[in-house]
Homo-oligomer: A and B are copies of this chain.
């Protein structure tokens, strides 16, 4: 029997993924449900409970010593509650208490999804071996998390590293969050696509107006597409440089759909970083693409549970 085994939950607006993960970060069993994101909160919780029940049906469950949750934010680890923007039925929803009850009293660790992918990249991905790192997801939104002094830095409420909503343009466009000129407002996939369309770029016969389509156009040299990625790169660079200047990170890892754009993003990003990261102690800062795939949220949630709950010599035997 595995003596260092945890359950992990990755909760987003589209799906609720669950897994049993061992002390090496290996996923031994999976379960998944679509998120009933527009339903009442208890219906969403039923989907979470279904995932846990499916995992608990395995004989492996007897070895599970804790549950790690990475959830769409904002979360509040100090109260164990979540209020994901894309799950309106959950507002200050007591997720930790409910998951604890659904698992017969297992310790439950809650972190934001940006913090979870950071835990994964630090454990097994591009930030491995770096004591001070920023890991980001640049996709429909822009999220992130921090490793400081060799350890995950979730902050008191589990939301630290929220780089998508720092303003890098104090007079800039209003952001849905209420602020202005946020990194996400400039660098997210939908904003890259919007800017390209506004500049006169048009999609091909397939009608694909995603950031991935803009990236393809940029690789073909379409100047408006190139410019839209350059603008996103500039905002990301200003945000990454700000983070490094504030907390002395030495690497920024970028994942998510936009992060997969490759040189179209990373070449202007590295150039812009040299412009914004000027002080001596941040000049060695590097950027790298994320290495963890779609399991990053699960692996990171598991990492948080493994790190913060001490191993128990006699693993619990109760089921869900």
Contacts and interface: CB of A to CB of B under 8 A. Distances in A.
A165 B242 CA distance: 8
Contact of A242 (B149, B171, B234, B242): B242
Interface of A: 74, 76, 83, 131-132, 146, 148-149, 153, 155-157, 159-163, 165-171, 177-181, 234-235, 238, 241-243, 245-248, 250, 275-281
Contact of A170 (B132, B235, B243, B279): B235
Given A179-B275, A246-B247, A247-B153, A83 B280 contact: yes
B169 A246 contact: no
A155 B279 CA distance: 14
Given A170-B168, A275-B180, A276-B179, A157 B246 contact: no
A276 B281 CA distance: 27
A163 B246 CA distance: 6
Q: Is the interface of A mostly helix, strand, loop or mixed?
A: loop
A179 B277 CA distance: 7
Nearest to A144: B246
Contact of A167 (B161, B162, B242): B242
B179 A246 contact: no
A248 B153 CA distance: 10
Listed residue (A148, A168, A179, A246) with the most chain B CB atoms within 10 angstroms of its CB? A246
B278 A165 contact: yes
Contacts of A168: 167-170
Nearest to A151: B149
B248 A156 contact: yes
Contacts of A275: 178-180
13 contacts: A83-B280, A132-B156, A146-B247, A148-B148, A153-B247, A155-B247, A170-B235, A170-B276, A179-B241, A179-B275, A179-B276, A243-B246, A246-B246
A162 B279 CA distance: 9
Nearest to A275: B179
Given A167-B168, A167-B242, A248 B157 contact: yes
A159 B162 CA distance: 21
B76 A281 contact: yes
A238 to B, nearest CB: 4
B281 A165 contact: no
